[in-house]
Amino acid sequence: MDPLPSSLPEGYLVYLVKQVEAGMRRPFEKLFGEHGISLGGFTAINVLQNRPGITSSELARRSFVRAQTMAETVTGLVHAGLVRREKDPAHGRQILLFLTDAGRERIAALRPDVRALQERMTAGLDAAEEDDLVRALRTCRDALVRLASDDPTD
Protein backbone atom coordinates (compact mmCIF):
# COMPACT_ATOMS: atom_id res chain seq x y z
CA MET A 1 0.00 0.00 0.00
CA ASP A 2 1.25 3.51 -0.79
CA PRO A 3 2.41 5.43 2.26
CA LEU A 4 0.20 8.34 3.22
CA PRO A 5 1.65 11.81 3.39
CA SER A 6 2.20 12.98 6.95
CA SER A 7 -0.08 15.92 6.38
CA LEU A 8 -3.11 15.46 4.14
CA PRO A 9 -4.55 18.45 2.29
CA GLU A 10 -7.69 20.01 3.76
CA GLY A 11 -10.75 17.99 2.73
CA TYR A 12 -8.75 15.07 1.32
CA LEU A 13 -10.46 12.41 3.41
CA VAL A 14 -13.94 13.58 2.35
CA TYR A 15 -12.79 13.62 -1.27
CA LEU A 16 -11.30 10.12 -0.95
CA VAL A 17 -14.47 8.70 0.61
CA LYS A 18 -16.50 10.26 -2.22
CA GLN A 19 -14.17 8.71 -4.80
CA VAL A 20 -14.64 5.27 -3.20
CA GLU A 21 -18.43 5.72 -3.13
CA ALA A 22 -18.48 6.88 -6.76
CA GLY A 23 -16.20 4.04 -7.82
CA MET A 24 -18.46 1.49 -6.15
CA ARG A 25 -21.65 2.89 -7.62
CA ARG A 26 -21.40 1.68 -11.23
CA PRO A 27 -20.43 -1.98 -10.63
CA PHE A 28 -22.90 -2.32 -7.76
CA GLU A 29 -25.74 -0.65 -9.68
CA LYS A 30 -25.04 -3.03 -12.59
CA LEU A 31 -25.09 -6.03 -10.25
CA PHE A 32 -28.28 -4.96 -8.48
CA GLY A 33 -29.95 -4.13 -11.79
CA GLU A 34 -29.29 -7.71 -12.92
CA HIS A 35 -31.23 -8.80 -9.82
CA GLY A 36 -34.06 -6.31 -10.38
CA ILE A 37 -33.28 -3.98 -7.50
CA SER A 38 -31.77 -0.52 -7.13
CA LEU A 39 -28.79 0.43 -4.99
CA GLY A 40 -31.17 2.25 -2.63
CA GLY A 41 -33.44 -0.79 -2.54
CA PHE A 42 -30.52 -3.04 -1.68
CA THR A 43 -29.49 -0.70 1.12
CA ALA A 44 -33.05 -0.67 2.46
CA ILE A 45 -33.51 -4.45 2.46
CA ASN A 46 -30.12 -4.89 4.10
CA VAL A 47 -31.09 -2.52 6.89
CA LEU A 48 -34.45 -4.27 7.29
CA GLN A 49 -32.74 -7.63 7.48
CA ASN A 50 -30.81 -6.38 10.51
CA ARG A 51 -33.52 -4.14 11.95
CA PRO A 52 -36.97 -5.53 11.15
CA GLY A 53 -39.98 -3.55 12.24
CA ILE A 54 -38.64 -0.01 11.86
CA THR A 55 -40.48 2.88 10.27
CA SER A 56 -39.74 4.33 6.86
CA SER A 57 -38.39 7.47 8.56
CA GLU A 58 -35.96 5.42 10.65
CA LEU A 59 -34.97 3.45 7.57
CA ALA A 60 -34.26 6.74 5.78
CA ARG A 61 -32.07 7.96 8.65
CA ARG A 62 -30.14 4.69 8.73
CA SER A 63 -29.69 4.86 4.95
CA PHE A 64 -28.67 8.56 4.94
CA VAL A 65 -31.44 9.58 2.53
CA ARG A 66 -34.42 11.88 2.84
CA ALA A 67 -37.70 10.45 4.10
CA GLN A 68 -39.42 11.21 0.77
CA THR A 69 -36.71 9.33 -1.15
CA MET A 70 -37.07 6.34 1.17
CA ALA A 71 -40.86 6.41 0.88
CA GLU A 72 -40.49 6.03 -2.90
CA THR A 73 -37.93 3.24 -2.46
CA VAL A 74 -40.16 1.40 0.03
CA THR A 75 -43.16 1.69 -2.28
CA GLY A 76 -41.15 0.02 -5.04
CA LEU A 77 -39.97 -2.71 -2.67
CA VAL A 78 -43.53 -3.35 -1.49
CA HIS A 79 -44.79 -3.58 -5.10
CA ALA A 80 -41.92 -5.99 -5.87
CA GLY A 81 -43.00 -8.15 -2.94
CA LEU A 82 -39.70 -7.72 -1.07
CA VAL A 83 -41.03 -5.65 1.86
CA ARG A 84 -44.34 -5.60 3.70
CA ARG A 85 -45.94 -2.90 5.82
CA GLU A 86 -47.72 -3.55 9.12
CA LYS A 87 -49.52 -1.21 11.50
CA ASP A 88 -47.65 -0.83 14.77
CA PRO A 89 -49.91 -2.36 17.44
CA ALA A 90 -48.49 0.08 20.02
CA HIS A 91 -48.98 3.18 17.82
CA GLY A 92 -51.99 2.88 15.53
CA ARG A 93 -50.88 5.44 12.97
CA GLN A 94 -47.29 4.22 12.70
CA ILE A 95 -46.38 1.74 9.95
CA LEU A 96 -43.56 -0.75 10.46
CA LEU A 97 -41.54 -2.38 7.69
CA PHE A 98 -40.45 -6.01 7.40
CA LEU A 99 -38.74 -8.13 4.78
CA THR A 100 -40.85 -10.75 3.08
CA ASP A 101 -39.58 -14.23 2.31
CA ALA A 102 -38.91 -12.96 -1.23
CA GLY A 103 -36.85 -10.10 0.24
CA ARG A 104 -34.74 -12.53 2.26
CA GLU A 105 -34.32 -14.71 -0.83
CA ARG A 106 -33.20 -11.68 -2.88
CA ILE A 107 -30.52 -10.83 -0.31
CA ALA A 108 -29.35 -14.44 -0.26
CA ALA A 109 -29.18 -14.52 -4.07
CA LEU A 110 -27.14 -11.30 -4.11
CA ARG A 111 -24.74 -12.28 -1.31
CA PRO A 112 -22.14 -14.21 -3.42
CA ASP A 113 -21.94 -11.50 -6.09
CA VAL A 114 -21.73 -8.71 -3.51
CA ARG A 115 -19.00 -10.64 -1.70
CA ALA A 116 -17.06 -11.07 -4.96
CA LEU A 117 -17.24 -7.33 -5.74
CA GLN A 118 -16.22 -6.49 -2.19
CA GLU A 119 -13.26 -8.85 -2.43
CA ARG A 120 -12.15 -7.18 -5.66
CA MET A 121 -12.44 -3.79 -3.99
CA THR A 122 -10.31 -4.85 -1.01
CA ALA A 123 -7.90 -7.13 -2.88
CA GLY A 124 -4.93 -4.93 -1.91
CA LEU A 125 -5.63 -5.26 1.81
CA ASP A 126 -4.63 -8.09 4.10
CA ALA A 127 -7.15 -9.37 6.68
CA ALA A 128 -5.92 -7.06 9.46
CA GLU A 129 -6.06 -4.00 7.17
CA GLU A 130 -9.58 -4.91 6.09
CA ASP A 131 -10.64 -5.26 9.74
CA ASP A 132 -9.07 -1.86 10.50
CA LEU A 133 -10.88 -0.32 7.53
CA VAL A 134 -14.22 -1.69 8.71
CA ARG A 135 -13.64 -0.36 12.24
CA ALA A 136 -12.59 3.08 10.92
CA LEU A 137 -15.57 3.33 8.59
CA ARG A 138 -17.98 2.31 11.35
CA THR A 139 -16.51 4.98 13.59
CA CYS A 140 -17.02 7.58 10.85
CA ARG A 141 -20.55 6.35 10.15
CA ASP A 142 -21.48 6.48 13.83
CA ALA A 143 -20.17 10.03 14.10
CA LEU A 144 -22.26 11.02 11.08
CA VAL A 145 -25.35 9.39 12.59
CA ARG A 146 -24.82 11.44 15.76
CA LEU A 147 -24.25 14.58 13.68
CA ALA A 148 -27.47 13.98 11.73
CA SER A 149 -29.48 13.40 14.91
CA ASP A 150 -28.16 16.70 16.29
CA ASP A 151 -29.24 18.58 13.13
CA PRO A 152 -32.51 20.44 13.88
CA THR A 153 -33.19 20.98 10.14
CA ASP A 154 -33.33 17.25 9.40
pTM reported for the whole predicted model: 0.80
pLDDT at residue 154 is higher than 70: no
Residue 28 has what pLDDT? Answer: 92
| pLDDT tens track for 74-97 | 999 999 999 999 998 888 789 999
d(CA 28, CA 114): 8
Average pLDDT over residues 138-154: 78
